[in-house]
Amino acid sequence: MATYRDRGIVLRSFDLGEADRIITFMTEGRGKVRAVAKGVRRTKSRFGGRLEGVRRTKSRFGGRLEVTNHVELTLYEGRSLDTITQADLLEHFRPVRENLDRLARVMPLLEVVDAVTFEGRSDPRLYHMLLGAIRALAEADAPLIVPAFFWKLLAHEGMRPEVACCASCGREDDLVAFELTEGGVLCRRCRRGTRLSPEALALLRRILGGQLVSVLGEGPSTAGHEVEHLATTALEHLLERRLRAAGALGGTQ
Amino acid sequence: MYAAPVQKLIDELGRLPGVGPKSAQRLAFHLLVVPKEEAERLARAITEMKERVAFCSRCFNVSEAPECEFCTDTRRDPQVICVVEEPHDVVAIEKTREFRGRYHVLQGAISPIEGIGPDQLKVRELVARLEPEEITEVILCTNPNIEGEATAMYLGRLLKPLGVKVTRIASGLPVGGDLDYADELTLGRALEGRREVEAP
């Protein structure tokens, strides 16, 4: 059977049968890939330490296929699901795994990437976007990473909103509202949808205007919450379903 | 395709976790040919379990009585609680014979992607036990995967300010393992959690 190699980020995993798992990756070359990791749930081997000194089968994966890990994979193609034959850890992002705030921020990113991608459609740019976001989080906590990533993703999916002038009449000042179905921000006369504060508008412009790095260095703010809420609503509109990860750990912030 | 009762059984078996349509079909045809008593024994075991077993009102482990055997055993240390995700984790820890305290079963783990937050777990019930039971230590024994770690971190943040000692089980290499087979994440933690060798 045909084997191939690729590198990818673990988005999520489901248990399958006794000891296997189905792992979803965002890969560089093949977009979203779902593949089976056989025996991955056994701590070490079929026999653990109980048969110390006796021949034992070794699980090839250990903690390599944990969610958020960046791995180099060898897989062979199956009829419906591919099977992972080898996985090497490229990056494990421990600072993200071991900090509740950062973990709470990375989960919505993984969820939306899983939701917007299809198997068999390659999207190296999105893979690099996700990798860059996780790397940034591993480097330092960035409260605005979720809204920034969501807006970048919407732009990438062809839903870049108009933020320079009123999407309806083209007026450049007095922009007070946001409505995605109108195409972006709206002035006082054309206003519809959600109210938009001047601070949130400025933040949105910076996110979409190539000032991402400075945005990620900022702490939480009301404008940040506003922009995140707008982004979540827009993504939910695009996906036609609710996003779950964003609120699940919300009580701890 | 099949006679209606057979199809019905296949459908029901197919709902079980880890059982696909093929396995369900295999199990159903097995049950079709085994002696009647054997099949009835299985049916009885299922109904009896559903009728007699529920969850312990204190720790949410599976139990035949209102409170489970661990919660009522006076020889166990009542001030130390080991927090686990599922009842089968209690069994795994009991097998070690290293723990003589009590348990608390969360009945799951925090999983943002599945939309499972602390409110869906037995977290409030855990907090409510601390004061009346005069708990001195809570051992966080959730799985070392992303959901288990998130749960442990969440509980750590929640319980620490309440003045109780909160510990997390160690994470590292399994007994009988080889260093060169270990992944960097596991080995890194094993190094970090090293212990000074005591004079023999």
CATH, residue A32: 2.40.50.140
Q: For the segment B86-137, what is each residue's pLDDT rounded down to a tens digit?
A: 999 999 999 999 999 999 999 999 988 888 889 999 999 999 999 999 999 9
Q: Which residues of B touch A37 (CB under 8 A)?
A: none
How many C-beta atoms lie closer than 10 Å to residue B132's C-beta?
7
Q: Chain A contact for B144, CB < 8 A?
A: yes
Contact A252 B182 (CB under 8 A): no
Q: Do domains B4-52 and B76-196 have the same CATH topology?
A: no
Contact A251 B176 (CB under 8 A): no
- Pairing mode of beta strands B137-140, B165-168: parallel
Instruction: Give the predicted TM-score (pTM) of the model.
Output: 0.83
- A169 and A235 belong to one structural domain: yes
Spatial CB neighbours of B38, under 8 Å, sequence gap ≥ 6: none
Contact B113 A17 (CB under 8 A): no
Spatial CB neighbours of B114, under 8 Å, sequence gap ≥ 6: A244
A63, A98, A248: residue with CB nearest B115: A248
Report the candidate in A65, A111, A123, A109 with the shortest Cα–Cα distance to residue A90. Answer: A65
Range of the domain at A149: 142-251
Q: Which residues of B touch A98 (CB under 8 A)?
A: 149, 153
Contact B150 A58 (CB under 8 A): no
pLDDT over 90 at B29, yes or no: yes
Dmax over CA atoms of chain A, in Å, equals 79
The per-residue pLDDT of chain B, averaged, comes to 91
Q: Which residues of A touch B178 (CB under 8 A)?
A: 58
Q: Are A28 and A8 in contact (CB under 8 A)?
A: yes
Q: Which of residues 25-84 of B touch A (CB under 8 A)?
A: none
pLDDT of amino acid A251: 38
Q: Which residues of B touch A52 (CB under 8 A)?
A: 175-176
DSSP helix, strand, coil percent of chain B (3-state; round to 5): 50, 10, 40
Contact B150 A69 (CB under 8 A): no
- The alpha-carbon gap from A110 to the nearest alpha carbon of chain B, in Å, equals 8
B114, B146, B183: residue with CB nearest A64: B183
pLDDT over 90 at B77, yes or no: yes
Q: Which residue of A has its CA nearest to B181?
A: A60
In CATH terms, B76-196 corresponds, of 3.40.1030.10, 3.30.479.30, 3.40.1360.10, 1.10.3720.10, to 3.40.1360.10
pLDDT of amino acid A248: 58
Q: For the segment A40-80, what is each residue's pLDDT rounded down to a tens digit?
A: 776 554 444 344 433 344 456 778 888 889 999 999 998 88
pLDDT of amino acid A52: 42
Domains identified in chain A, total number: 2
Report the candidate in A86, A95, A61, A140 with the shortest Cα–Cα distance to residue B188. Answer: A95
CA pair distance B56, B86, nearest whole angstrom: 13
- A186 and A246 belong to one structural domain: yes
Q: Consecutive 10-residue runs of chain A (253 residues): their mean pLDDT?
A: 90 83 92 89 50 45 84 88 89 90 92 92 94 93 91 90 89 89 89 89 90 85 90 88 71 36
Q: Are A234 and A179 in contact (CB under 8 A)?
A: no
- A153 and A232 belong to one structural domain: yes
- The alpha-carbon gap from B72 to the nearest alpha carbon of chain A, in Å, equals 31
pLDDT over 80 at B54, yes or no: yes
- A152 and A244 belong to one structural domain: yes
Query: Where exactly are the structural domains of chain B?
Result: 4-52, 76-196
- The alpha-carbon gap from A96 to the nearest alpha carbon of chain B, in Å, equals 10
pLDDT of amino acid A159: 87
Identify the helix (H) or strand (E) that includes residue A97.
helix A94-97
Decide if A64 is inside a domain: yes
A18, A49, A249: residue with CB nearest B112: A249
- A149 and A242 belong to one structural domain: yes
Decide if A114 is inside a domain: no
B154, B176, B182: residue with CB nearest A62: B182
Decide if A216 is inside a domain: yes
Per-residue tokens: A185: 């921000």
Contact B153 A111 (CB under 8 A): no
Which residue among A77, A93, A109 closes a domain? A93
Q: Are A227 and A247 in contact (CB under 8 A)?
A: no
Per-residue tokens: B44: 């009885």
Contact A111 B150 (CB under 8 A): no
Decide if A123 is inside a domain: no
Which residue among A93, A126, A160 closes a domain? A93
pLDDT of amino acid A170: 87
Contact A251 B112 (CB under 8 A): no
- Domain with residues B4-52, CATH architecture: Orthogonal Bundle (1.10)
DSSP helix, strand, coil percent of chain A (3-state; round to 5): 35, 25, 40
Q: Is residue A86 left, alpha or beta, with left meaning phi > 0 and alpha meaning psi from -120 to 50?
A: beta
pLDDT of amino acid A31: 93
- The alpha-carbon gap from A5 to the nearest alpha carbon of chain B, in Å, equals 19
Q: Is residue B60 left, alpha or beta, with left meaning phi > 0 and alpha meaning psi from -120 to 50?
A: left
